Amino acid sequence: MEIVKSWTGGTACLLQAALRLTNDQFAEHLGISTRTVVRWHSNPDLAPRTEMQQLLDMTFERAGDAVRHRFGLLMRPAPEPVTEAQALRVAIAIVRRGAEVLLVCRRGDDTLSWQFPAGMCKPGAAATTVAVQETHAETGVHCAVREELGTRIHPKTKVLATYVLCDYLAGEAANLDTVENMDVAWVPLAALTRFIPADRIYPPILTALEAA
């Protein structure tokens, strides 16, 4: 039986392929968010946290012989770079409330980083719709789209990112996705670059917020 000494995003995706599950099905099988599975596809060298390593170990050990055999075949050749990441698209919501903007504090590999709410766009889904839905799912905040600010290949994740400027409508900001996020906060526009360095912010975002 193939032995995995330490799981990475790439080997987790190979297990998903051996199980013949979609991203949503694999996430449900593991009891995690689809967002985490997407992150593994985008970052094949990513090392999941200890508890996730244990969950993947248990999933592999409980898999049938056919699944383990397929996994072994997939592991033997040098894995090709995961090309799905280039086809992935995410919607990033810049939600403003007066002189404030909504941020979430993402969990990473022993690090935390403040980001705008975001979600994966499934085939056929509009980025504007995803931006509104994911903002509410992550934070409980209702917002309305004002305009799309543009699209680029994200310099870090290499996925296609569409940025959507939104206006706050209602709701108290709360951390509703405790697996992916540590915190949620309304941040003064004047203090935004203290949370996210200016060189990491898509320039049209700063232009739009300054105009506001």
Please check whether residues 151 and 105 belong to one and the same domain. Answer: yes
Q: How confident is the prediction along the chain (212 residues), in pLDDT tens digits per residue?
A: 456 788 998 898 988 898 999 999 998 999 999 999 898 988 888 888 888 999 999 998 888 888 888 888 887 755 455 444 445 899 999 999 999 999 999 887 677 889 999 999 988 889 999 999 999 999 999 999 999 999 998 888 888 999 999 999 999 999 998 888 899 999 999 999 999 998 889 999 999 988 86
The boundaries of the domain holding residue 162 are 88-211
Q: Looking at the domain assignment, is residue 2 inside a domain?
A: no
Q: Looking at the domain assignment, is residue 111 inside a domain?
A: yes
Please check whether residues 61 and 111 belong to one and the same domain. Answer: no
CATH number reported for the structural domain that contains residue 123 in this entry: 3.90.79.10
Question: How far is the C-alpha of 90 from the C-alpha of 69, rounded, in Å?
Answer: 34
Question: 133 Cβ partners below 8 Å, 6+ apart?
Answer: 119
- Tokens, residue 201: 């912010």
Please check whether residues 114 and 204 belong to one and the same domain. Answer: yes
Which of 26, 51, 83 terminates a domain? The answer is: 83
Please check whether residues 69 and 104 belong to one and the same domain. Answer: no
Q: Looking at the domain assignment, is residue 3 inside a domain?
A: no
Q: Looking at the domain assignment, is residue 96 inside a domain?
A: yes
Q: Looking at the domain assignment, is residue 4 inside a domain?
A: no
Tell me the per-residue pLDDT of 77-91, one tens digit each, with 9 for 90 and over.
554 554 444 458 999
Given this model, what pLDDT does residue 130 score? 94
Which of 23, 51, 83 terminates a domain? The answer is: 83
Q: Looking at the domain assignment, is residue 121 inside a domain?
A: yes
Please check whether residues 150 and 199 belong to one and the same domain. Answer: yes
Question: How far is the C-alpha of 31 from the C-alpha of 58, rounded, in Å?
Answer: 12
Tell me the per-residue pLDDT of 42-68, one tens digit each, with 9 for 90 and over.
888 888 888 899 999 999 888 888 888
Which of 24, 57, 83 terminates a domain? The answer is: 83
Please check whether residues 64 and 106 belong to one and the same domain. Answer: no
Question: How far is the C-alpha of 69 from the C-alpha of 1, rounded, in Å?
Answer: 8
The overall pTM is greater than 0.85: no
32's enclosing H/E stretch is none
Please check whether residues 92 and 79 belong to one and the same domain. Answer: no
Q: Looking at the domain assignment, is residue 1 inside a domain?
A: no
Q: Looking at the domain assignment, is residue 66 inside a domain?
A: yes
Number of domains present in the structure of the chain:
2
